[in-house]
Each structure stands twice: as structure tokens, then as C-alpha cells.
Amino acid sequence: MDKLIITVATTGAMTTKENTPYLPIQPEEIAEEVYGAYQAGASIAHIHVRTPEGAPTMALDRFEETVGLVREKCPDMIINMTSSGGLGFTDEERILPHTVLKPDMGTFDAGSMNFYKGVFINSPTFLEKLGKAYIEHGIKPEVEVFDAGMVWNAIRLMKDGILIPPIHFQCCMHVHGGMEGTAKNLVHLVDLLPSGSTWSAFGCGPTANLIMAMAINMGGHVRVGMEDNVYLSKGVLAKHNYEFVEKVQRLAKEFGRPVATPAEAREILGLPPKK
Ligand code: ZN
């Protein structure tokens, strides 16, 4: 097995201050939370931004400020920016921040689905535009799959030259509208991935621990943070995102899986080393 890559997803689009008062919203808060997670051993920062009032946004200036601060504080960390930002943004709004800021990675949601009370649209036209923009700007896609059909869609896009293998997948489990976060479902998803792929996984809410423990033991990588889950244990809110990273560190140590540094994570994912 490769060393374990830990991604931190501090903010997301759906978590609110009502879910947890500790959610980082402002660029400085997000960067500080990413920095704590980096010091605890996370090597990828999955970044969403919010308006000053806390609403999800794809505004370029909010990304510029947040990513700039993260790059200052965590120079070799892998930056992975969302290309959804929430629901309802135009194709252009979703792609623009990537073409300007050129993060190491960007999300690529391999299909459309119901998403809580809304609909998460990733049309074939959008995916083609996004895939080509990533190729043009040297951004590695993180292919997010929320159900099994999305893996098949990604394989077709790979054959069409929109995704270049080896693909890195993120198995997003227990999102309402997608696949339930169960052991069987994760095993099934991973079985479907084309050979040579790397993969990571998370389970939202109450499935976080199960999916985390399975991914560590199956040779996958893990994503943690308040985007997906706000509880450190039953009824106990995490005050900082690094607490989730520390939990992964404890489990990884117990299960005998060494954790990757950012430099090692770059090598595993086929990203160029940080100069
Ligand atoms: Zn996200």
C-alpha cells in the first residue's frame, strides 16, 4: 500500500454555523484551519469559499485571498479547489477561479444527482469544458463519485480524452441523493475503479468513522473535515479541523499505515514536486 494521504475539507458548501459554531467561513479562518490540519499531517487542502455573510460562492476574490493565505502558511501543501462551490453556479463561474489560480488539483463531479433538497448539475457539456480547462492549465482532477454510475461515466470520459489516466477518485459516501455510506457500497465502488487509479473516501455524518477505517485498511486515502462531518465522536463537536486529522493519525498508527508528507503525496498522485 502507498502511504496514506490525508485531505482536509474545512468548510464545504452545505455546513452552516447552525450545524457547528466552529465552521471557518472567512479567508483567514479557513487558512488558519488548513494550517492546523497541515501541521497535524494533512497534505491536501480541499477548498471552498463563502461570502462574508457565509453563503457558498465561487467568487474569484474570495478564492484568491483564501488560496493566497494557504499557500503562504503551508507552502508545499496540495491545493484542491472545488469546481461546484454549492448548487446553481454557471459553468463559467465554476471554471474561472481554476484558470486564474491554477491549483494543483480541482474537483470533477462525474455526474448529476439530487443533492439534499436541490439538484447538483454536472452536464456532459460542463464536464467536457472543465476537463479540457484542467488539461490546459495542468490541474489534476479529483474525480468525485457519489454513486456507482459516476465511475462508469468517468471511464467513458477517460476514453474520450477528457480525463487522463491514472485518475484520482474521491468516493463521496452518504451524501443525500448519492450512495449510502456502507461497507458493501464502498467495496463495490472501489471494485469498479479502473486499474492504476488512486482513490480516497469519506462518509458524511454518522458514517465518517466506518468509511475512514475502511479506506485506511483498503489502501485508499482519506478526507476529513467539517465539510463532511462536524462530530468528533457521538454528540461531541470538533472545535478545529485538525482534530479529525489527529484522529486519522491515531487510527493509521494503530493499523500500521504510515501517513504521507505533502512531497510523498505529490509523488503518489503524479503531481510535480513543489519547487
Ligand atoms: Zn467540496
CA of 82 from ligand 1 middle (Å) equals 5
Domain boundaries, the chain: 6-268
Distance 46 CA to ligand 1 centre (A): 7
Q: Measured in angstroms, how far is the CA atom of residue 80 from the centroid of ligand 1?
A: 9
- pLDDT per residue, tens digit, the chain (275 aa), is 999 999 999 999 999 999 999 999 999 999 999 999 999 999 999 999 999 999 999 999 999 999 999 999 999 999 999 999 889 999 999 999 999 999 999 999 999 999 999 999 999 999 999 999 999 999 999 999 999 999 999 999 999 999 999 999 999 999 999 999 999 999 999 999 999 999 999 999 999 999 999 999 999 999 999 999 999 999 999 999 999 999 999 999 999 999 999 999 999 999 999 87
Helix orientation angle between 183-192 and 208-218, rounded to the nearest 10 degrees: 40
Q: Identify the residue whose cell numbers are 469544458.
A: 129
**Contacts with 183 (C-beta within 8 Å, 6 or more apart), sequence order:** 210, 214
Cα of 111 vs centre of ligand 1, distance in Å, is 15
Level-2 CATH architecture, domain 6-268: Alpha-Beta Barrel (3.20)
Beta-strand relationship, 168-173 and 140-145: parallel
